[in-house]
């Protein structure tokens, strides 16, 4: 038998909800777990995206301020004009010295202004710095124009060291401010990267732990729900298998308060009902078996076993057989009619039953087939319905035993007891007559002759024909009687069968 389920399985099984509702609850629970896990993951991705966007913005800030730093560096190089020649040809000076300082300053102003929208809006970390840069560049603009005017003399670029000094220090201040903010941004980026790495590790662990818990809870819930179904199904299946094997006392007990519990109840009710029906059927079958046995006994008493078997195998077929050689024996109780007149019906039947029962035993002993009794006449045959060896010898042996048995029984009767026997051998036809009260009989001249031999015989003697005598001459002794006129047959030469010859 299946082992008992655990407490969790029994608890889930005992919940008074339908299987459909339990499955819906389990599905909703698992769905909620998956949704919660997805939301947690989305929140982590959102945070990671926010940090990534911040890093990208910091990178853009660094690029922006590095560009400003480069612009300022170029301007400082130009400002340090005292190191350039006092007179430089404009064509050979290159673009570095050719481009006016005020134009370069204007380019720086334009670049700074382009970053206002991205980095100088209110609430952004660089709004104050950009505002200072714009203010300082605005102040430096007229100074740069004056410096440029002083550097150009007669179409040539000349040094203007004193004018440059007015631009140098403010530009250095701007460069330091920009460099400082770039360093601060880089430090913030490094700290943010560490924070992101730590947050990533933590979030990954939390996501993994949450996923593990969700999967574990879902697996536990699935196990509990499925076990609450599969365990009773196995129990019910085992009970049905036991019932199918014939044990109608088998019962199934499950804690389920759902359709499976109802199914288990129906299985128990069905098993109980089948048990009752089985007992009734067994009782009826026993009665039928007894009736069948009686029918079989009656059938085999009425008909030879071989004929009864053929009738059962082919119930609609006519049973008719021809036998080339059978031995027919008729026996009749002498003076039975006047004797029975003084007896009661019970005594008549009792007398015949006692004598014929002894004859039945002799017929079985010698392998003879009892055909019928007619009043006080008794008829047997040898060689039908199955062929046997020496049928006439069997009939002769039975005739002698019948005479000896009747002689032994004679003292029991007041007037004594004698029988006449007729014996003949030859061809015959046998078959079953009737559809309801079946009767196996034999016909032909052999039967008629044997019957007439008995009726024309003498008390205590066995009368036989030449056909029977020729079969028995070697083993039996006969006394010639002569020719006898048999009714319906004609003149027949007959012999008295006296005894079996003794071997010398």
365/369 Cα distance (integer angstroms): 10
pLDDT value of position 158: 55
Q: 3-class SS at 354?
A: helix
What pLDDT, in 10s, does the model give residues 341-354? 888 889 889 889 99
The answer on pLDDT for 106 being more than 50 is yes
Q: Which fold has domain 319-500?
A: Alpha-Beta Plaits (3.30.70)
Phi, psi for 477 (deg, rounded to 5): -100, 140
Q: Which of 38-42, 95-99, 357-361 has the lowest mean pLDDT?
A: 95-99
Helix (H, G, I), strand (E, B) or coil at 382: strand
Q: What are phi and psi of 502, to 5 degrees?
A: -90, 140
Q: What is the pLDDT of residue 362?
A: 95
Please state the rounded mean pLDDT for residues 149-154.
Answer: 64
pTM above 0.85, yes or no: no
Q: Which of 235-239, 243-247, 444-448 has the highest mean predicted lDDT (pLDDT)?
A: 444-448
Give the pLDDT score at 427: 94
Q: What is the pLDDT of residue 199?
A: 74
Residue written as token pair 């019910």: 236
The pLDDT, as a whole number, for residue 369 is 92
What is the rounded average pLDDT for all residues in the chain?
81
Domain residue spans of the chain:
11-228, 319-500
Q: How confident is the model at residue 331 (pLDDT cuts 50, 70, 90)?
A: very high
Q: What is the pLDDT of residues 474-488, one digit of tens each?
A: 999 999 999 999 988
* Euclidean distance between CA atoms 34 and 23, whole angstroms: 16
| Rounded distance between C-alpha atoms, residue 447 and residue 355, angstroms | 22
Query: Does the pLDDT at position 180 exceed 80?
Result: yes
Read off φ and ψ for residue 27, nearest 5 degrees: -65, -45
List the structure tokens of 53: 């966007």
Burial class (CB within 10 angstroms; exposed 0-12, middle 13-18, buried 19+) of 417:
buried
Question: What pLDDT shows up at residue 31?
Answer: 81
List the beta bridge partners of residue 482. Answer: 494
Q: Do domains 11-228 and 319-500 have the same CATH topology?
A: no
Closest Cα partner for 207 from 45, 54, 50? 45
Q: How far is CA 331 from the centre of its chain?
A: 71
In terms of Cα–Cα distance, which of 64, 65, 71, 58 is closest to 178? Answer: 65
How far are the Cα atoms of 24, 208, 231, 259 from residue 222, in angstroms, in the given order?
12, 20, 13, 18
DSSP type of residue 256:
-
CATH topology of domain 11-228: f41 fragment of flagellin, N-terminal domain (1.20.1330)
Q: What pLDDT score does 156 carry?
A: 56
> What does the pLDDT read at residue 424?
94
* pLDDT 10s digits, 69-101: 887 887 777 666 543 444 444 444 444 455 677
Q: Using a pLDDT cut of 70, give the percent of the chain over it.
A: 87
């Amino acid at each position: 038998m299946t082992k008992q389920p655990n407490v969790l399985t029994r608890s889930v099984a005992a919940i008074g909800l339908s299987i459909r509702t339990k499955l819906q609850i389990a599905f909703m629970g698992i769905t909620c777990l998956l949704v919660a896990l997805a939301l947690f993951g989305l929140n982590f991705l959102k945070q990671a995206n926010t940090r990534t966007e911040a890093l990208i913005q910091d990178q853009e800030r660094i690029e922006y301020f590095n560009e400003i730093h480069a612009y300022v560096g170029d301007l400082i190089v130009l400002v340090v004009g005292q190191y350039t020649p006092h007179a430089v040809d404009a064509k050979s000076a290159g673009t570095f010295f050719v481009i006016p300082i005020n134009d370069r300053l204007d380019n720086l102003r334009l670049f700074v202004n382009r970053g206002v929208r991205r980095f100088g809006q209110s609430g952004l970390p660089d709004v104050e710095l950009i505002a200072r840069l714009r203010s300082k560049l605005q102040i430096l603009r007229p100074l740069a124009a004056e410096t440029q005017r002083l550097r150009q003399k007669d179409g040539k670029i000349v040094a203007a060291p004193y004018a440059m000094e007015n631009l140098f220090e403010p530009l250095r201040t701007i460069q330091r401010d920009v460099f400082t903010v770039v360093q601060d941004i880089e430090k913030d980026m490094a700290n943010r990267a560490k924070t992101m790495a730590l947050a990533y590790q933590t979030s990954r662990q939390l996501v993994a732990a949450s996923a593990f818990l969700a999967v574990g809870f879902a697996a536990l819930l699935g196990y509990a729900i499925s076990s609450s179904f599969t365990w009773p199904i196995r129990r019910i299946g085992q009970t049905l298998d036991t019932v199918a094997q014939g044990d109608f006392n088998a019962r199934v007990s499950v804690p389920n308060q759902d359709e499976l519990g109802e199914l288990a109840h129906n299985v128990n009710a069905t098993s109980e009902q089948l048990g009752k029906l089985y007992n009734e059927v067994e009782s009826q079958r026993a009665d039928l078996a007894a009736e069948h046995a009686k029918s079989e006994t009656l059938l085999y008493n009425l008909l030879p076993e071989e004929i009864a078997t053929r009738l059962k195998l082919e119930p609609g077929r006519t049973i008719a057989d021809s036998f080339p050689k059978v031995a027919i024996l008729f026996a009749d109780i002498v003076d039975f009619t006047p004797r029975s007149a003084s007896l009661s019906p019970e005594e008549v039947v009792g007398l015949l039953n006692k004598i014929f029962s002894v004859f039945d035993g002799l017929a079985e002993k010698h392998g003879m087939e009892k055909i019928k009794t007619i009043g006080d006449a008794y008829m047997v045959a040898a060689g039908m319905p199955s062929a046997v060896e020496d049928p006439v010898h069997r009939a002769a042996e039975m005739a002698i035993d019948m005479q000896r048995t009747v002689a032994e029984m004679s003292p029991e009767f007041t007037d004594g007891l004698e029988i006449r026997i007729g014996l003949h051998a030859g061809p015959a036809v046998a078959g079953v007559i009737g559809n309801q009260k079946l009767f196996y009989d034999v016909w032909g001249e052999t039967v008629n002759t044997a019957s007439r031999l008995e009726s024309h015989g003498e008390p205590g003697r066995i009368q036989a024909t030449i056909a029977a005598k020729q079969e028995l001459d070697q083993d039996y002794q006969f006394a010639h009687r002569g020719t006898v006129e048999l009714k319906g047959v004609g003149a027949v030469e007959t012999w008295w069968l006296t005894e079996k010859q003794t071997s010398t």
